[in-house]
Amino acid sequence: MKAIAAALLVLASALAVHFANGASSPDRPAGVDARNWIPVSDKMGFVVTTPQSAPGAVVTRDRQPLLLNGPAEGYFMVHTGNVWQRLVIQDPIKGPGTSG
């Protein structure tokens, strides 16, 4: 009886470890470098596809230089089930008249 109880305890421990590791989602999609991943939440993030370059100087109205990085390009990813899926954002349907 003790052997059966010990075996059940080992089996339950192994299953608990297995499901605990399987339930945790990876922090970013496979193949995405950490420097290119901007997490939005645990289920969504942004993948930057343009390399970071040195900021460029923009001169404001008061003749003061303002250092800005160029716009980042990339795409959103969402975690559904056990996979990361890329989101494609299309232009929304325009409303009537001048709205939208």
pLDDT, residue 27, reads 87
Question: How high is the pLDDT of residue 71?
Answer: 74
A 10 A CB-CB count for 23 gives 8
Specify whether the CB–CB gap between 3 and 13 falls below 8 A: no
Q: 88 CB contacts (<8 Å, ≥6 apart)? A: 75
- List, for residues 33-69, the tens digit of each pLDDT value: 999 999 999 899 999 988 666 556 666 666 666 666 6
